[in-house]
Structure 1
Amino acid sequence: MSTAVIRTGGKQYRVSEGDTIKVEKLEGEPGAKISFDEVLLVGGDTPKIGKPTVSGAKVSGEIVAQTRGDKLIVFKFKRRKKYRRKAGHRQALTQVKITGIQG
């Protein structure tokens, strides 16, 4: 079973065929096919390490759902000045099922 390390949304993910991962928001409806061309490593019997990416390697997947992450609280204040600001943030995420690794 081959594995790969891909880069998307400024983060790196280690994936295998059949894995489901949550990545930063990607455009597309659930069921749409997507491919990741920034493949940093392809593992297996003979691993290939990219410098910085593996040429010709591609990881394909399918969008499962568009979701949002847990709420994070952002709180700013200045001591002794009665300045308080509280805001919440929920990151938009895309759930992707990995369907194939070529390379």
Structure 2
Amino acid sequence: MIDQEDLELKCLGLIYTMVQNHLSDKQKEVKAELESNKAMENIYVFKSSTSLVNDMQVGKQGPIATRYAKSNKDISDVVDELQALLSKNSSKEGVTVDG
């Protein structure tokens, strides 16, 4: 997608979003096929993901992810993983990331 737009963005990885608690066999198959695709070989796949939280569509607190405990935790996990990844990569270059 980045290649299709006139944007200078760097792909930092793939984050699965709206993931159900238990993947079906078909979903597992699609995930494995995607991750084994040659186009994905240099793309980091995050271990963290965001869950499908039905309350974000129908809950009284509205569609703001940080208002729901599960969504808030998921976002925190993704950010922690991203910070660790950036810190690790910056350390290789002799630079540290303040956090």
Larger radius of gyration: 1
Larger RCO of the pair (alpha carbons < 8 Å, separation 6+): 1
Instruction: Report if TM-score (shorter chain) is over 0.5.
Output: no
More helix by share: 2
Q: TM-score, length-normalised on structure 1?
A: 0.21
Q: TM-score, length-normalised on structure 2?
A: 0.22
